Every structure is written in C-alpha cells, then in structure tokens.
Amino acid sequence: MNYTYLDCLALFGVGGAHPGGLQLTKEIVSEEKINEQTALLEIGCGTGQTAAYLAQQFGSTVSAVDSNNIMVDKARQRFSSLDLPIDIKLGDTENLPFPDANFDIVLSESVLAFTNVFSTIPELKRVLKPNGILLAVETVLEQPIPNAERDNIVDFYRFPQLLTEDEWLAAFKKAGFQRIDSTKYQASLEQIDEQHASDFSLSEYIDDELLEILETHEEITKQNIDKLGFRVFRCS
C-alpha cells in the first residue's frame, strides 16, 4: 500500500496537524467576535482538536467536516468523550454537505492547499453568510524554486497546486471575497506545553511505511525552510 502524508496524519491521529498547532488557532480566533450565536464550520477537521476547542471555549454551534473516514471516526470519538454537540460529517470540501449562506465563520487549517483551491474556495464562499469570514492557515511558496524541487514537494504532499501569496490572494478575490488580510506565521521553536502539544489518537496498526513518511516530511520541511512559508488569511 502506498500511503500519503494525509493517510499518515489520519493513522497517527494527529490533533492540531497544521502550522502553529492549537496555539495559533487560539490566537486567530481570539481576534474574532465569537459567541453562542456564532455558526462555525471547520473544514478538514482531522481528529477535531480545534472544533472541540471552539465548542468548549465559546459554546458556539460548531460543524466539522473531513474527507477521511478515519479522521471522522477519531473526531467523533473525541466529541462524544467530551460530550460536545458538534455536527461532524464525512464530506468533500469541494462539495460541502451544507446549504448556502449557513455559517458566520469557516475555518481551514492547512486544508485548502491539499484541495483544488479553485473549486474549494468558491464552495466555502457559498456556505458562508454574505458577511461571513473565512479564516485559513495555509502554505505559501515564498520564492521561485527549480521544477524538480517543486515536484518533490507537490508529489509528497499531493498538493494539487503550490501557490505564492499573490496567487492565494487572487484565488480568494476571484471567489468573491472583498477584503483579504494576510499575516505571516513564523514557526517558533519554543518549548511547548502539554495543553498545546499535538495529541495523537493512534490507529491500532502503524505500518513502518508511515514512519518513513514522517521522516520524509521532516526532511522536506527542513530542506525548504526558506521556500515554504505560512500565512493566516482572513477573508471577508
């Protein structure tokens, strides 16, 4: 079996599998007005660490969707063990199982980059209310790179595209977002505490091939530290 990076995240059940982890999530959402009345959607929720935090912290109506059934099972277990009324669905970000104009905020934490952004971003715009906000933490290409290096990254992560900041901004604009703020996220090597560390809900069997994928991921991120950057996009 040839596992992908996303299979690896699913089987290791990595919670907070995005740049900045839960710490950055908290910083991003603290800038927004969120309360019990807010309808939130997290796409690519993974094991549900963020969705659980949002429901616990703000008491909002939280929906979550992921396209990987292992992730959905693990997220469902998390929500049920915490007794959180989160609506979790297996679904495709390019064709979301929600009606139009349904959410105040949609959150995407390193999810869009793994999808065809030219279908996904308009789909997110569709499910957002007219004054809704898209918050996205995404990978950007910081500088031109040789094709072979680019292919290496794109093939490993199975990115349908690898966009520069300007290309991201254009994609959001094209989908009808009018105001887009972009903030650079600088990965920090600060000591992490247990509240913010990635949590893992491991599948019973972890194939050795998955360990190789983790190693390749670590190599690629180290080798491309100046070429792959991260942004928090706030689109409204």
Partner 1 sequence: MSVGQYRSLCQKYNGKAVEIRCHDGKIHRGIIQRVGRNRVYLQPLGRSRNLGGFGYGGYGYGGGWGFGWGVALGAIAGIALLSLFWI
70 binds partner 1 (CB under 8 A): no
What token pair was written down for 160?
């349908």
Tally of CB atoms within 10 A around 85: 8
Q: Which is nearer to partner 1, 60 or 110 (CB)?
A: 110
226 binds partner 1 (CB under 8 A): no
Report the nearest approach of partner 1 to the CB of residue 184 (Å): 16
Partners of residue 42 on adjacent β-strands: 64, 107
The three-state secondary structure class of 217 is helix
Residue of 149, 151, 167, 212 that binds partner 1 (CB under 8 A): 212
Report the nearest approach of partner 1 to the CB of residue 65 (Å): 19
DSSP conformational letter for 95: B
98 binds partner 1 (CB under 8 A): no
Report the nearest approach of partner 1 to the CB of residue 59 (Å): 25
Indicate if the alpha-carbon torsion angle 51, 55, 56, 60 is positive or negative: positive
201 binds partner 1 (CB under 8 A): yes
214 binds partner 1 (CB under 8 A): yes
- Mask 147-166, x = binds partner 1 (CB under 8 A)? ----------x---------
Residue of 167, 179, 211, 223 that binds partner 1 (CB under 8 A): 211
82 binds partner 1 (CB under 8 A): no
Q: Count the residues of the shown chain that bind partner 1, applying the rule CB under 8 A.
A: 38
229 binds partner 1 (CB under 8 A): no
Report the nearest approach of partner 1 to the CB of residue 206 (Å): 6
- Mask 28-67, x = binds partner 1 (CB under 8 A)? ----------------------------------------
Yes or no: say if 49 and 80 are a contact pair by the CB < 8 Å rule.
no
Yes or no: say if 90 and 64 are a contact pair by the CB < 8 Å rule.
no
192 binds partner 1 (CB under 8 A): yes
Tell the residue number behind the tokens 């670590």, with chain if given: 218
Yes or no: say if 195 and 150 are a contact pair by the CB < 8 Å rule.
no
DSSP codes joined into one string, 32-58: S---TT-EEEEES-TTSHHHHHHHHHH
168 binds partner 1 (CB under 8 A): no
CA dist., res. 219 & res. 96, Å (int):
34
CA distance readout (Å), 113 to 45, 109, 121, 231:
14, 9, 11, 12
Tally of CB atoms within 10 A around 136: 27
- Interface with partner 1 (CB under 8 A): 5, 9, 12, 14, 16-19, 21, 110, 113, 139, 157, 187, 189-194, 197-202, 204-206, 208, 211-212, 214-215, 217-218, 221, 228
